[in-house]
Amino acid sequence: MKKLILLLSVVTVLTACSVVVKRTYVRDYREQIELIKTNFPEIYDLYRQGAVIIDDVYTYEKDGKGRVHIQYHYR
């Protein structure tokens, strides 16, 4: 029983310490394409060939730097 309580308390502490990342989804198609072309040229080439579908593009900040993330899947 003590091990279970210890495990639950460790999980709770780790969950509370996790960093919440604020995502800003990019909805403008031109801006999405520019971000993909600049940050993920290999994915952009696959997109132009019709091999992948871009689901979402969003920006977030990590370590004081702006980052771009995309979600995509192959056809």
What percent of the chain has a predicted confidence (pLDDT) above 70? 91
Would residue 5 count as lying in a domain? no
Question: What number of CA atoms fall less than 13 Å from residue 33's CA on the CB side?
Answer: 6
Handedness of CA 22, 28, 31, 36 (dihedral sign): positive
Q: 21-40, pLDDT tens digit by residue?
A: 899 999 999 999 999 999 99
Residue 2 lies in a domain: no
Band of residue 14 on the pLDDT scale cut at 50, 70, 90: low
**Residue 13 lies inside a defined structural domain of this protein:** no
Q: Is 31 helix (H, G, I), strand (E, B) or coil?
A: helix
Could you tell me the pTM of the whole model? Answer: 0.70
Task: Look at residue 40 and tell me if it is in a domain.
Answer: yes
Q: How far is Cα 27 from Cα 37, in angstroms, rounded to an integer?
A: 16
How many domains does the structure of the chain reveal?
Answer: 1
Nearest to 48 by CA among 32, 37, 59, 39: 37
What range defines the domain where residue 41 resides? Answer: 22-74
Residue 3 included in any domain? no
pLDDT at position 21 is 80
